[in-house]
Amino acid sequence: MPLIVKLLAQRIALGLILLLLVSGLIFVGTMILPGDVAQSILGQSATPEALANLRAELGLNDPPLQRYIQWLGGAMTGDLGTALTSGADITESIAKRLSNTLFLAFWAAIIAVPLAIFLGLLAVRFKDRWPDKLISAVTLASISIPEFLIGYVLMYLIAVKLRWFPSVAMINDSMTLGDKLSAIALPVAVLTLVVLAHMMRMTRAAILNVMQSAYIETAELKGLNGFQVIFRHAFPNAIAPIVNVVMLNLAYLVVGVVVIEVVFVYPGMGQYLVDHVSKRDVPVVQACGLIFAAVYIGLNMVADIVAILSNPRLRHPK
């Protein structure tokens, strides 16, 4: 078996094993939560007989290992169960919510990733000069401020005072693409500010590390200008760490949007999860946790694979 195929197979196998372990943690974590699911569904006035019947119907009396195997087997076949509070099929409900979250994350990534790489290259080109200092100061400030605070400030200034965009990011299938983009403008802006800073700073650090190499000095001695040296020689050799940080931030755009979706009442996975956490709807919480974990592990696995393919040093044991 070729070495590169072996390395890729190892990364994929490790990703699947990690997802299996995380699924166990999610199941155990939801099982040890205080409170009674049957009691929360039927209310405080429920009789002991009604509670016992509902526990038997929900399978709460089965051994935990048996319940975990049944849940995991259903998840592997696409059956995430039924919501306890509404009786709706979780797979169908999550499919719509997940598409909304991916729609939001897609437009944030379209703006944030190219802009972060451009600003990183610009900061390297003007290292220790005013463009570099200005970019670093702005990005450091955006990292330091919590995203929910940025969201409320933008909501107050742009939605309430200027009335350029709506403060509530509600979308539906009957809206045109332009209407949807207008509705998600503010949450996209907040997500862009949050992930832009991290990606830009990591891009700058990765390229500056490569700029210390001897071949960069050779390129400069050939008469290439600063942008040519950075773009043609430094950037391609710094692509592996940049891809890693981009993938980590893309994972955050999908997994970490819970706060932003709640702030802007966006009908995505985060809002769906929070709504059912408050109702103690365990199957929904388990399904959302598993999907978030799968997305995060999957994107990290893609980052590892891209790093292996782009960096020859990772393809050799020595």
- What was the pLDDT predicted at 238? 65
- What was the pLDDT predicted at 43? 59
Name the residue ranges covered by the structural domains of the chain.
35-79, 102-267
Percent of the residues in the chain that have a pLDDT greater than 90, as a whole number: 0
- What was the pLDDT predicted at 62? 67
Please write down the HEC assignment for all residues of the chain.
Answer: CCHHHHHHHHHHHHHHHHHHHHHHHHHHHHHCCCCCHHHHHHCCCCCHHHHHHHHHHHCCCCCHHHHHHHHHHHHHCCCCCECCCCCCEHHHHHHHHHHHHHHHHHHHHHHHHHHHHHHHHHHHHCCCCHHHHHHHHHHHHHHHCCHHHHHHHHHHHHHHHCCCCCCCCCCCCCCCHHHHHHHCHHHHHHHHHHHHHHHHHHHHHHHHHHCCCHHHHHHHHCCCCHHHHHHHHHHHHCHHHHHHHHHHHHHHHHHCCHHHHHHCCCCCHHHHHHHHHHCCCHHHHHHHHHHHHHHHHHHHHHHHHHHHHHCHHHHCCC
Specify the pTM.
0.73
The answer regarding whether domain 102-267 maps to CATH 1.10.3720.10 reads yes
Residues of the chain with pLDDT under 50: none
- What was the pLDDT predicted at 205? 75
